[in-house]
Amino acid sequence: MTEPGFASRWSSPEMQERLRRRYRAERRFRALGLAAIGIALTALVILLVSITARGWSAFAATELRLDVPLDAFVEWPEGADAAVREQAIDAADWGAPLREALLRLFPEVTERSQLRELAALVSTGARTQLRDRVARDPSLLGTSASLWLPADDEVDLVVKGIVPREAREGSQRLSAAQLGWLATLEAEGRVRRTLNTTFLTAGDSREPEQAGIRGALVGSLLTLIVTLAIVLPLGVATAIYLEEFAPQNRWTELIEVNINNLAAVPSIVFGLLGLAVFLNFVGLPRSAPLVGGLTLALMTLPTIIIAGRAAIEAVPPSIREAARGIGASPLQVTGHHVLPLALPGILTGTILGMARALGETAPLLMIGMVAFVVDVPGGFRDAATALPVQIFLWADSPERGFVEKTSGAILVLLAFLIAMNGIAIWLRQRFERRW
């Protein structure tokens, strides 16, 4: 029964004013929440747009077409075998035919300083490409081959419009003569932009136009393989034991508290731990993916354990009770019923933990993976670097050509992170069960 005067109190002016204040406070709270989301999305869009605007050009390369004379500068004895011919090709001066090809296009260049400026239009890596091309097809010797060869990084920046041709004094590194020769080559159709396969297939280099991310990608892949091989079985086993078999006492509580604390430890601390244990004490090779994987495993393991415990705890107790009711042992209950149902959540947590490990830089810096590594690693003990560390190295380089390389590598890293997070979301939606 309604208390007498109840309706009159709710309809009183004081109560109506209180309701209006409450509704205004609720609208302000919602507006603040929407504003926070809008600011975060705006910042994210600005970040992605700025990185994309700077990095898309890294996937394009500038090439120059030269008619290269390949006669009378590589010689070997008559009847020489393949090894002798290969040695002669490797020892030849492959810069000479490139200079000769440029001089045929610009015969007015006679001074040595002008010749150096003219030769600087072509990348130093063109010599290696020309040598490899002849090594694959020795029949080119004695002919004049029309080849597309990589341009220097300063020429590449001008052709892409990153550096204006009419730049102010001091900002333009190409001389007036070089810009004139470049304009002539463009007018004759000897300049083109093509897909920069070197960026995806080559290792690091001191020259921006020759630098690639393949070595860093392979290093990251090998490091993540080591990390996954350690954290998945060990993390899942720990989560199962703590959630299903461990007795509830002070020791397990201490272990759980420490696991939660380790998940919040800064990553550089794990780098120091890896430096002290794996390098100084165990004596594993520096800059190796094996050491990087072990260090990242220490950092990722608490996250995997926490995610695994949450997934196992989410399985309804009725599943366990039903399995025990038909005579299943505790191990059978866990292995046949609980673990398969918790596996989607475990895999999701594992992928998210691996995505965090993929983007880490500080632990890898501490164990020496910041070294300049040109060759692509062939094993877990070879010297290597990782993609985040490669981005760090390029960002610290004074060469202007590495600016677009840095942004391009960030785009590749973001693509991997988005893909891994997308896989985690798909696994959860695909296998998650509603109870």
Give pLDDT tens digits for 156-181: 888 888 888 775 555 567 888 888 89
pLDDT at position 33, please?
A: 93
d(CA 298, CA 366) in angstroms, rounded, equals: 14
Query: Between 281 and 3, where is the model more confident?
Result: 281
Q: Write down the residue that tokens 């020759």 correspond to.
A: 210
Nearest by Cα to 204 from 411, 412, 405, 380? 405
pLDDT digits (tens, 9 = 90+) for 339-370: 888 888 888 888 888 888 888 888 888 888 87
pLDDT at position 172, please?
A: 64
Q: Write down the residue that tokens 């004596």 correspond to.
A: 283
Rg (CA), the chain: 32
Q: Residue ranges of the domains in the chain?
A: 57-196, 214-431
Q: Is 347 in contact with 427 (CB distance < 8 Å)?
A: yes
What is the share, in percent, of the chain residues with pLDDT greater than 70?
A: 92
Burial of residue 77 (number of CB atoms within 10 Å: 0-12, 13-18, 19+): exposed
pTM, whole model, 2 decimals?
0.82
pLDDT at position 434, please?
A: 62
User: How far, rounded to the nearest angstrom, does the alpha carbon of residue 241 sit from its chain's CA centroid?
Assistant: 35
pLDDT digits (tens, 9 = 90+) for 50-91: 888 888 888 999 999 998 888 766 666 666 666 766 777 777
Helix (H) or strand (E) holding 145: strand 144-150
User: For residue 129, how many other CB atoms are within 10 A of its CB?
Assistant: 17
Q: Is the pLDDT of residue 218 over 60?
A: yes
d(CA 202, CA 216) in angstroms, rounded, equals: 10
pLDDT at position 68, please?
A: 87
pLDDT at position 164, please?
A: 82
Nearest by Cα to 334 from 346, 351, 349, 352? 346
**266 three-state secondary structure:** coil
d(CA 431, CA 344) in angstroms, rounded, equals: 6
pLDDT at position 5, please?
A: 56
Lateral strand order in the sheet of 144-150: 144-150, 60-69, 191-195
Q: Is 366 in contact with 267 (CB distance < 8 Å)?
A: no
Please tell me the CATH code under which domain 214-431 is placed. 1.10.3720.10
